[in-house]
Structure 1
């Protein structure tokens, strides 16, 4: 009478099937009465009719968000961890191994948002606008890190205002950084190189 649930006690849901069905019917009725479709959704955990922005995304679900709101989801995760820490840690590691690309994308998006104030989607849109190339030299190769690992195009930003200027390869990003992001120093370096080339031709 209980549905299978991997993270539930004894591998089963805490609610029997008839009760779950009755609850789902009531939930659908509440959605209809409260006009949840579109911008809001009733969370079955806390019973509140919340905006969709208060839910984590889930493309496969009806409204494109998870069943429970962010607060209830976090509370459920904490509870599952307290019940069986080792099992929760093993499950998390196994999921991360099976979804490495997604974990990388999420981690990169978090870093971009925290450091530069842009999302992963905004980064991809900026790269597409630059035709997948460095905004200075036009290369399609972002370059290598000091450890020899392939990197992504660097987010170049104004250190005074924090505004994002564009995406650069590793070499160009380091180059203008070493020149202090100073246009006059960049022009002086350009003049210096051109003078040398002109003298070399004589």
Structure 2
């Protein structure tokens, strides 16, 4: 019978089982997965947008840890997207997926948002004198 594996990251003498790669206990495996995910993300934004080490985190902190447009999304479930100008490829900020998609749909045209503002202020159904509620 083989001795149970112990976690390589735990203190010496710890008897925590290490069923995960490394071998690692569940706690240290979770930490390792977060570390790997962060490193992969940092590499991807560096290769794609030219953001140096720590720039994403600095930008995230400068935005108060929220989407620059809606200010609701925090990126805790899904990281905020790096928004950039498609003409000159300059990074503008970090956005949640819906806000980033909205900008993409508008094709970075400010007139789109002016029309949307007018629509919200005076919906077409209001002109008909009929408001329909569910």
Question: Is TM-score (shorter-chain normalized) higher than 0.5?
Answer: yes
Q: TM-score, normalised by structure 1?
A: 0.45
How far apart, CA to CA, are the structure 2 residues paired with 1:135 and 1:122?
A: 16
More strand by share: 1
Deviates more, 1:183-192 or 1:97-106: 97-106
Shift of 1:142: 3.6
2:119 corresponds to 1:192: yes
For structure 1, the 5+ residue unaligned runs are 1-92, 144-149
2:108 corresponds to 1:181: yes
Q: Secondary structure at the match of 1:156?
A: strand
How far apart, CA to CA, are the structure 2 residues paired with 1:194 and 1:96?
A: 60
Shift of 1:157: 0.4
Which structure has the larger Rg? 1
For structure 2, the 5+ residue unaligned runs are 1-19, 130-134
How far apart, CA to CA, are the structure 1 residues paired with 2:71 and 2:111?
A: 22
2:46 corresponds to 1:113: yes
Aligned residue number for residue 9 of structure 2? none
Deviations along 1:119-158, one digit per CA (max 9) or x if unpaired, are 3510010011111111111114348xxxxxx311111100
How far apart, CA to CA, are the structure 2 residues paired with 1:141 and 1:171?
A: 13
Q: Secondary structure at the match of 1:128?
A: helix
Deviations along 1:39-93, one digit per CA (max 9) or x if unpaired, are xxxxxxxxxxxxxxxxxxxxxxxxxxxxxxxxxxxxxxxxxxxxxxxxxxxxxx9
Distance 1:105 1:95, change over 3 A: farther
Cα RMSD, aligned residues only: 2.7
More contact order relative to length (CA 8 Å, sep ≥ 6) = 2
Aligned residue number for residue 101 of structure 1? 34
Q: Secondary structure at the match of 1:165?
A: strand
Distance 1:123 1:96, change over 3 A: farther
For 1:103-142, list aligned pairs within 5 A. 103-142=36-75
